[in-house]
Structure 1
Amino acid sequence: MGDETHAMPSVLIVMGVSGAGKSTIAEALAQRLGWRFADADGFHPAANVAKMSAGYPLTDDDRWPWLRAIAEEIDRVAAAGSHAVIACSALKRAYRDVLLHGRGDVRLVYLDGDRQLIGARLALRHDHFMPPGLLDSQFGTLEVPHADEQPIVVAIDRPVEAMVDDILARLPGHTRKLVE
């Protein structure tokens, strides 16, 4: 397989709690890279969406089929020699282990922000099934990725383009185009 950690990954998983900006950053990143964008929320079974919409946090039993469906998509993308950026909470190490299952060609991008900033963002959202009241549950579940997971950690207190520039600068093999 070679040393995949120093090559451009097949898939980037943009992770973090609800309200961190996963979809926004992943979509902008995919656009800049010319890769396909996928939102992990689209892989949830209807029962999970209904449960979260009603204000109930998901259990691990709710999450396993969802995570396996995303992992299968990652495998399909890589097998096709394609690329994708996936927005996915991936809050626990065990969840990320299901998604990556030892793959060296998938990188995590962790969107790091504090409870106050993310809470303020969630309070402004009215078109999402994750109610702001579940933010405490999200932070309670979050296991920040460790160095051995080789995450690209990005602070969310900057404009989208600055965050995307930061991520791109840290991808191996990516040549950054400067816009004047």
Structure 2
Amino acid sequence: MSKVVAIMSMSLDGYVADSHGSVAEVFDWYTSGDVELHMGGSDPMTFTVSEPSAEHLRGLTSGLGAMLTGRRTFDDAQGWGGNHAWGPAFVVTHQVPAGWPRPGSTVHFVTDGIESAVRQARAAAAGKAVGVHGAETIQQCLNAGLLDELQVDLAAVLLGSGVRLFDNLADVPALLGNPTVIAGVGVTHLRYPVRAVDV
């Protein structure tokens, strides 16, 4: 079965966006090096990262088969032009936005909850991992016991306020396994397995 993996950039003090909703500071590491990485999708991007970060991103993206995200991330990314660079995207939302779904798009909308979204994304991933974006979506997956791994790109910045990644957790403490740590330029890449709780 496909692993469900949270993927987020976060400030050292736990924020994924500042008080104005901007993510610029936590994503500065995407331009902190001289190794070019080209991402596909309808709206292709090129990152210039350090070699350790490039190796981290290559390993991450090659293992992804689908993405799961929330409506705010979808809106902020303007729907990725209809095709996310890392595979078909499943957007958890209460209402499908106007003008969607679009012909030729690999963006799907799930209005019947996080469990259904994870099930659909796993089926689309065809054995590869499902990446999860967005603080609220990650929290929902953690609270439902659906998350297998946390990958946090810890940016070298303190934001002081904003959108926190781990604000609304139902079952704490949440136990994590030993981390894998990769030091980049302006970022530390942390990867934790989420340990199942014995009942």
TM-score (norm 1): 0.40
Q: Which is richer in strand?
A: 2
Higher relative contact order (CA closer than 8 Å, sequence separation 6+)? 1
Which structure shows the higher helix fraction? 1
